[in-house]
Amino acid sequence: MKRWLARRASPPDRPHDDVPTEPTGYQQTASRLHSFNRYEIKYFLDEFRVADLRAELVARMASDPFSPRGGYPVTSLYYDTADLRFYWEKIEGLRFRRKLRMRLYGQPADCGEQTPVQVEIKQRVNRVTQKRRIELPYVQAHRWLDAREPLECHPSQKGFVDEVTTLVGNLDLRPIVTTGYLREAFVGRDADVGLRVTIDHQVHGRDRDFHFASGATNRFIIPPKLAVVEIKANERVPYWVTDLAARTDMSVIRVSKYCQSVQAFGMAPRSRDGAPELMTLTDENDFTTT
């Protein structure tokens, strides 16, 4: 049975702030307006094998320079139509599909009105993943996407802002679910520049109380014994990476964290990727890496 949640908080009282925020730390991994094309391969990996994988990656790759030791939290709020158009485009495997999300890099409990967030369109064109995004304070992102207030922007950002505004208005997009996880990130060096490998732990989500700092109860949307490993490359995936995946017993998957969250909360039939397990969190700062 489908359940729709279209809760929209009242717009914050702070005045519109045209001064762009400067990203710090691992927030610098996403620029204020950024586009790129990538090939992506996803795997499930038993958490007991993560240490082996990490050791191999450290020997050949560099840690993301903006990532703190042990990784960093990533939380995303996904927008969709009442009948889950973007979800079904993914399930049906359309060659061109997209989704809209608001993403926070950092501890959700620390998210305030001026905390930088990313508003992002992620789309798939055949086998290539494309991302376009803009960074702005949370209060502005909330007013733009949820309260439907116009967003003032630099002329260089206008095309993207107009596209998002049209998408939200024409399709009546609303918050559907969140996803969250702790991410370790590695970047290629020397001949492997452009390669990026991430390991996501304790993938969870919720279908209500969408403010990042709400501290609401979450549910594991992928069994916590499994980490999600993503290999991302601009042109090709090096042979040593695919060989490492085979030696580490990683299983190729076509999982979407957004789709897993939708399924976990009964909005659509559950996939065979594993039943979610309930977890109660009063403070998402309690997440640690294995």
pTM for the predicted model, two decimal places: 0.81
CB atoms within 10 A of CB 150: 10
Q: Does some domain include residue 4? A: no
- pLDDT(56) > 90: yes
Q: How far apart are CA 100 and CA 65, in angstroms?
A: 27
Whole-angstrom CA distances from 217 to 88, 110, 212, 224 are 26, 17, 12, 16
Q: What is the pLDDT of residues 185-241, one digit of tens each?
A: 999 988 888 899 999 999 999 999 999 999 999 999 999 999 999 999 887 888 999
Residue 273: predicted pLDDT: 44
Residue 88: the pLDDT is 94
Answer yes or no: is 84 within a domain. yes
Compute the distance between CA of residue 121 and CA of residue 137 in angstroms, rounded to an integer.
17
For the chain, the domain total comes to 1
- Residue 20 is predicted with a pLDDT of 33
Whether residue 1 is contained in a domain is answered as no
Taking a C-beta distance cutoff of 8 angstroms, is the pair 120, 101 a contact?
Answer: yes
Q: Are 68 and 28 in contact (CB under 8 A)?
A: no
Q: Check whether 171 has a pLDDT greater than 50.
A: yes
**Segment 111-130 mean pLDDT:** 91
Residue found under tokens 């959700």 = 108
Q: Is 17 domain-assigned?
A: no
The pLDDT score that the predictor gives to residue 76 is 98
**Are 132 and 121 a contacting pair, CB within 8 Å?**
yes
Residue 259 lies in a domain: yes
**Assigned domain for 22 exists:** no
The total number of residues written for the chain in this structure: 290
Residue 290 is assigned to a structural domain of this protein: no
Q: What's the pLDDT tens digit per position in 16-38?
A: 333 333 444 434 344 444 556 67
Domain span including residue 112:
35-281
What is the CATH number for 265? 3.20.100.30
Residue 14 lies in a domain: no
